[in-house]
Structure 1
Amino acid sequence: MLSITTNTKLDIILPDTNKALKEVIKNATPKELEALSSAKDLKSVLNSLLKQSAQSSASDKTLLQLLKQNPTLKNLGNVSSTIKDLLTSIKSDKKPLPIQKVLKGFLVDIKNLNEKDVKAKLANSGVFLESRLKNAQNPQLELKNTLIKLQALVDKSSVYEVKSLTKHIQTLLDTPILKNATNQALLQPQTDNKQLLAFLSRGVLKILQTLESNIKEADAKLVDPKLAGAKKTDILFSKEISSEITKLNSLDAPLKLQTQQNVKEIIANDLKSLLLQTREEVVKSNSPNQTEILKNIDKLALQIDYYQLVSHLSNSSSLYLPFSWQELKDGQIELKKDIDDKFYCDISLNLINYGELNLKLVLYDENQLNIKILSDNAKLKELIKENIPSLRSALISSNITPREIRIQDATKKTPTSVYEATTQSINIGFEIKA
């Protein structure tokens, strides 16, 4: 059973729940621990970290440095390789685990990677699990707040059927479920009253039918001319009403109103939560491949913990992007933004056949892009040069104007470009490992 807590900082900063922190503390020298806290015992060190962390103290920077220099964490490898290893160990087991399908879907070939996939994978990477659980809303509380807003709106309507919804909404708000709805219910397993949920669902459907039918009738001009004229002024046709209708459509069934529905959806799709649940299943099983599966699960969990901790300590979002690319040995993407709404991207790749490849990109004026490509491999630079026209065409077709594309040696000193000239004003953004 996955435990849920609203204290995300505690989850990320305690060694019992964050294996990356545990590894750093284990390998830290007495002098390094002293830099984190004047106290010598672990409890006091952690207390010091918790108290000072919110203020972005020197201890955060010290711990972040220790984290990035830790030999165990530096040699963890990339997440994509770990996912492949885990899949291999699961496949060789006689009884396939449910997580196998999730892992396959998570690891996409780079040729098939699209914007929708990237967003979904970043959201469900496991790095945001605790914060997503903390911010999860009780759907019953969502319904309550939506009905309160809607009640105030429909009461202003001059359309009788719409205005009469005020009393109907109040009846729903007076039910024990909505009266007592809070987010604290998410922390405690409880049984929802199925009859009351069905009653609320029918009530929501009645509201939706009334609002939508009146809007449709007015649009079709099948009602009194006075009502048709009200389309320009009546609250029924406002953006506010439209917004509340959208919310109600996501809360119109008993299943959608179950207390822990939102939490269940998060847990069902989040990689870290699935790893925790799978680990419990494997520990209880008699699988002959148990040791290998657990080793790979623990390694992947440690990698996710690492990104969570780096994000916490650097006040940014450090992420990984899992995809399959045979040429890639290792890679990292770092995104930043400056005060003038310019966006910077450093891409550092270690390619199996071509060595290191670095790209520096700056996006400004909404769609203007400068690209600098750095490599010492002559064959790779020639290959990139041959494909520059295709790159330009692809960017232009995406409404991005490539203002400058340069290919340079990585080891030679190059003239100052727009990128270097403005780096002093860059704010920390987020980092992605590939």
Structure 2
Amino acid sequence: MAEDLHDRHQADRLDAAVRTTGPRTLREAIQALDPITAVWASPDGPAVLAVGQAKTVTASGAARFQEVKRRGDRLLERVETAHLPERARPRLFGGLSFFDQATLEPPWTDFEPAAFVLPAIQVTLGRDQTLVSGFGAGAAPPRLDQIVQQLAHAGEGTQTKTDPRISATATDLRADRPDWIERVRAIQDRIETGPLQKAVLAAALDVALTDPLPLGAVLKTLTDRYPSCYRFSFTPPGTQAGDTPPAQFFGATPEQLVGKRGRTVETEALAGTVERGATEAIDAANVSRLQRDSTLAVEHEFVASRIAEQLRETAATVTVGDREVRSLANVHHLRTPIHATLDTDTHVLDFVATLHPTPAVGGHPPEAALETIHEVESTVRGWYAAPVGWFDANGDGEFAVGIRSALARDSRVTLFAGNGIVAGSDPETEYEELAAKFRPIREVLE
């Protein structure tokens, strides 16, 4: 089992080694390897898979960001990486819970409030070659050679096969229309009488499956349909080969929380949504409504202003780009790109802690929004709408917001979606919008 690094002194070094093999697709790599403990595929970078767990770091409560950074940095200092090419160097993959909690409630009990894994094997896919990095016991030549052989033969005999079908037997939306409308109006009552200006209300949809979730097929389909999104999957700490089936938190999120490389920071405001139209004319009308709707503009401005204000507290220069429309297969979003240049180097987790939760998934002002969500919302968020991603020994990394996501556990998949509620929100429209936000995952399962 992976070792959990808490405050014990760990002076021993961890070996590292790297091999190369031919290019492989994400689906081929997932099908060839076990256990897949994490998958990360960004829109502009290579997909990376974590196989097995060499070490893990966990934390909980309000200090979980700082504890993960401290323990993670100590762990990464122990890895011998001088001889590794940059793309093959170790990353810690994982995520954190939305709320400050000591433990997570069902259906999230397998997960920790914060958990990051140093994989035994890290597989970095590329157009020309695949890099296979081993850390700790994973660096042993027999283990590396085994992985290389599995990847070398990945995809053989699959040319005539189709991806396995996923058969959903039933669905259950936990928030029916009257209940949802009542909760929206409860939020609007608070907006009218207090400091609250916006709160995000989440809902869950349960889908029962007849067979275990085929992760490779699911992520392939999400990649085909949503190539501009972050595709991800994470299993709980301690997942071992042969665990059947391991819990999986997976999805295809359009929302970057923060990316950092050196002293350059990138993030975005993504808030304000309309569905795609069934025809080109309807779709164009929906885009026009998105651009002109004053309620959506107010919702978006909450997010953009708050993120820029937070970055200015730590960055030398903050540049806010022009608002634009981000179009996906299922919805259109309002998006504002935001860039920053740092005076001094800062760890990516410091920005994660500062920015989470953005008004796009929490609300504004933050304290009033989180209190409202606690009291009004019935959904157990766990890692939903929380930071997921990776960081490295330089303090660089990439994190997204875990929306357009689902938790697969046993024979059930729980889908999550949420809407930002402001004073002018129409409860009926907000309820209909949920269907569009469930669609990326629901279509893959049905």
Give the TM bin, normalised by the shorter chain.
under 0.3
TM-score in terms of structure 1 length? 0.25
Normalized per residue, which structure has more helix? 1
Q: Which has the larger radius of gyration?
A: 1
TM-score in terms of structure 2 length? 0.24
Normalized per residue, which structure has more strand? 2
